Chains A and B, each alone.
Chain A
Amino acid sequence: MLGQAVANLGETIPLFFTLNNMILISAGVLFGLFVGAIPGFSTSMALVLLLPFTFGINPINGLSLMIGVLIGSISGGLVTTNILGIASSSSSIPSLWDGHTLSKKGEGAYSVGIALWASFFGGMISWAVLVTFAPMIARIGLQFGPWDFFALMVFSLTIAASVSSGTMTKGLLATGLGLLVALVGRDPISGVNRFTFDIPFLTSGFEILVVLIGVFAFSQRLYDMQDRERTHRSMGGGSIRFEGIPHLRAVKTNLQNWPTLLRSSLIGVFIGVVPALGGNVSSILAYDQERKLARPEQKFGEGEPAGIIAPEAANNADAGGSLTVLMALGIPGDIVSVVLLAALTLHNVAPSPMFITDHPTIAYTIYISFLVASILMVFFQSITIRFFLLLRWVPDYLINLVLFLCAMGVFVWAGTFDSLWVLLLFGLFGYAMRSLGFPIAPFILGAVLAEPVEVNLVRSLSSSADVSLFFIRPWAMLFWVLTLYSLLFPLYHSMGRRWRIIQSLYYPSLGLLLSIPLFMMGSFGAAIAGLLFILVSVWGGYTAMQRQKAIQN
């Protein structure tokens, strides 16, 4: 296994470290840092806009560019967050609480340094997880049949709906609408027209990329420009004195807080693995966790270094987690992964458990790009920091040029004027969704996963008429249990005092039910995992009941 990895690495390195590719990855990191520093310009938006332009270049260059943008944009916001006190995205908000406070005490450069190196170390820890676990999970994925894949995808869709913002009904509706939009056009298996209304234009269906740009980027801008006061605002004024980043001091602080760094990175990776949860959840969760574990001398909210390290490390580690699932199983965990999935599909590479084995050069390009981009991010962030501070003068309304970039991206990709009308249609649709409080992520996941879900459903039904196989195969059963519990999650979350005993049994019962398919798998490792689930569940259930009794008494 190690020999194969070394051979793959040896094959990829000469293709990766070319002048052309290094220019592209550097440009990607710089562009990412630039857009990351602008509030209202998210990582996903940058990737969505860039995607059509990677069509004409080879997959190694295209993926290097996109990973560069991904890593750059995640960290791009730390300058505006720490120095100006303006969160460029929701995931940067926890960094404000301590980062900007430290900055106000005259330690702006130190605060940026801590955040910068926490981002780097968080990225490195998630990179290690990606390189180690993606091939391992992929090997598990090789045991999956179409029934198991179907159940896994249904689980991804339901969890996306249940954990997204808004009500559960709206999340599920968004998922269903995403599935339906992707079904318009000719059926890929039988060639029969579906939902075309006998309109020739609809026969080829909606290009997923155009739908993605419309619903995600175009509608976001339409939504943001509603606030007429905000469109005239820029990030701030006045002169800012900024000395160079004290790198050694910042690295030392990060290493002194290594438990925080490790815990937060692992939280980030875990959140990245769960579909539809994103960087904002991981950074808030990591910050909250560290605050709870704080020593008495640590004053969170008053410029505590651990309060800067936790959200930044978790935020960057999140990317590695979602990439692990994407590379191992071909399931996109968040919108960023959806765009990367689209990028791979663009180059005729379909992520699946066979992805790393069948396309080692592409897989190793992702690994190396992640590592190189993280190093370049530290370098470029250090030298361009003064330039990015100038971005505070850019008024919000100038960001409306995103709409033109959306149009150009779609035009480059589809090459027809009709595609621009589709962009406008889905832009309006996304705007309506946002205005009504419908979550966007489940819609996009639905649209992207519709085809693989249907293909696996048809494969399952074609290979056996026995419908029970959807439920009695161990992996399928495991995913159905998770699906059921993800659907019950909002109910569990909103239960009042009267139902507290039932509420306390949510996780123990989940553990017990999960142990059944694990025992059915027949392997020693799975049986041990099943036994552990039972022990933890019984212990968890017992302590929860004891706690309830104590409260009642």
Chain B
Amino acid sequence: MISRTRVEVIAALVLCVFCGIGWQQALLIRHPRLVEVSPGLFPMVCLAFVSICSVAYLIQAFSGTVRSEAEEGERGALWLLNPAICIVLFTGFILALPYLGILISGTAFMVLLFSFTGRRDAKGLITNFLVAFGCSATMWASMRWIFRVYIPSGSLTGF
């Protein structure tokens, strides 16, 4: 379990590294001859601003004076379980989408997500499937026939 202060310090350090990378990229921005104001001017102004704020944040984080409106308190890894599951499932959904299409991959994603984060008994699983399929089918049908948006078919399923 990492303390809140340590998390803030890590976040501030990540921001400082981000600023360093940003400066390296900002210095590479070309200034075309015919353009009066350099395209790098505004990014550098913004970077300078973010860099100053990041250093201030780092100092505050080290001194423990940074206040936060986020829910305080130490929380175990269990607190991150649902978001972690969701991210893994969403990654799977994106990877499966070209092969299975929206209807099947969308339904599968939602059924798994509902079941991992909610009820897993027989009645719950049926509800999860019905809600997931209903939502997925409605979106699929409305995109195809109402909004007339191009949706690629799954290469394995054909729809």
Contacts and interface: CB of A to CB of B under 8 A. Distances in A.
B70 A434 contact: yes
Contacts of B78: 228
Nearest to A161: B53
B17 to A, nearest CB: 14
B43 A183 contact: yes
A7 to B, nearest CB: 34
A190 interface: yes
A417 B97 contact: yes
Nearest to B50: A176
Given A192-B39, A232-B118, A417-B94, A180 B47 contact: yes
Contacts, number: 178
B54 A173 contact: yes
A403 B39 contact: no
Interface in B62-104: 66-70, 78-83, 86-87, 90-91, 93-94, 97-98, 102
B94 A408 contact: no
Interface in A212-255: 221-223, 225-228, 231-232
A437 B70 contact: yes
B143 A408 contact: yes
Contacts of B113: 400, 403
A181 to B, nearest CB: 10
Nearest to A164: B69
B68 A166 contact: yes
A543 interface: no
A170 interface: yes
Interface stretch (A121-129, A381-389, A456-464): A456-464
B156 interface: no
Interface string A169-212: 11011001101100100010110111101000000000000000
Contact of B110 (A222, A231, A400): A400
B117 A397 contact: yes
Given A194-B40, A231-B118, A226 B79 contact: yes
A166 B66 CA distance: 9
Interface stretch (A101-109, A350-358, A420-428, A527-535): A420-428
A22 interface: no
A211 B32 CA distance: 29
B61 to A, nearest CB: 9
Contacts of B83: 222-223, 225-226, 431
A180 B43 contact: yes
A259 interface: no
B87 A428 contact: yes
Nearest to B14: A432
A222 B89 CA distance: 12
A197 B21 CA distance: 10
- Which of B11, B15, B46 gathers most chain A CB within 10 Å? B46
A232 B102 CA distance: 27
A1 interface: no
A530 to B, nearest CB: 32
B114 to A, nearest CB: 6
B118 A395 contact: yes
Given A176-B46, A231-B82, A195 B25 contact: yes
A180 B50 contact: yes
Given A56-B148, A231-B82, A437-B69, 9 more contacts: A180-B22, A193-B29, A194-B40, A222-B86, A400-B86, A400-B110, A400-B117, A436-B68, A458-B37
13 contacts: A173-B57, A189-B39, A192-B35, A194-B29, A228-B117, A397-B119, A398-B127, A400-B118, A407-B94, A408-B106, A417-B97, A421-B94, A458-B42
Interface of B: 7-8, 11, 15, 22, 25-26, 29-32, 35-37, 39-43, 46-47, 49-50, 53-54, 56-57, 60, 66-70, 78-83, 86-87, 90-91, 93-94, 97-98, 102, 106, 109-110, 113-114, 117-119, 127-128, 131-132, 135-136, 139, 143, 147-151
